[in-house]
């Protein structure tokens, strides 16, 4: 009898876990994914010494990333785009980073 209870309790716990995950995904899944993409890109920009992460803004909507801000050199602009493209979940990148005068 206790084995049956254990299996039943495990089944209920698994069902609740799955239901909770589905509820979050249905309502906010894309939003959460976009936030994690933006966060990952910003973190990688900070780690990269060729890019001034404070000067580049990142926005993500449905996996589509828009980079904006100012870069010191064309290479910095290109590096920012390359870094963003390597992040999982990124579909497209619009690089609106301008060069500093």
CATH number at residue 36: 3.30.1340
Quick check: is 22 in a domain? Answer: no
**pLDDT tens digit string along 45-99?**
999 999 999 999 999 999 999 999 999 999 999 999 999 999 999 999 999 999 9
Owner of token pair 């698994």: 14
Cα–Cα distances (Å) from 70 to 21, 55, 57, 67, 98, in that order, read: 39, 6, 9, 10, 5
**Which band of pLDDT confidence, cut at 50, 70 and 90, is reported for residue 43?**
very high
Quick check: is 36 in a domain? Answer: yes
Quick check: is 83 in a domain? Answer: yes
pLDDT at position 21 is 45
Quick one: how many helices (H) and strands (E) in the chain? 2, 3
Structural domain for 68, as ranges: 29-99
What pTM value is reported for the model? 0.70
Quick check: is 90 in a domain? Answer: yes
Quick check: is 33 in a domain? Answer: yes
- Count structural domains, the chain: 1
* CB atoms closer than 10 angstroms to residue 27: 10
pLDDT at position 7 is 41
CA–CA separation, 78 and 82 (whole Å): 6
């Amino acid at each position: 009898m206790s084995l049956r209870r254990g299996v039943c309790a495990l089944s209920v716990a698994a069902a609740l876990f799955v239901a909770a995950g589905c509820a979050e995904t249905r309502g906010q899944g894309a939003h959460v994914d976009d936030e994690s993409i933006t966060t990952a890109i910003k973190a990688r920009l900070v780690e990269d010494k060729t890019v001034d992460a404070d000067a580049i803004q990142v926005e993500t909507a449905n996996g589509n990333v828009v980079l904006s801000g100012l870069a010191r050199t064309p290479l910095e602009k290109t590096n920012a785009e390359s870094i963003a493209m390597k992040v999982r979940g990124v579909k497209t990148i619009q690089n609106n980073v301008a060069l500093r005068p």
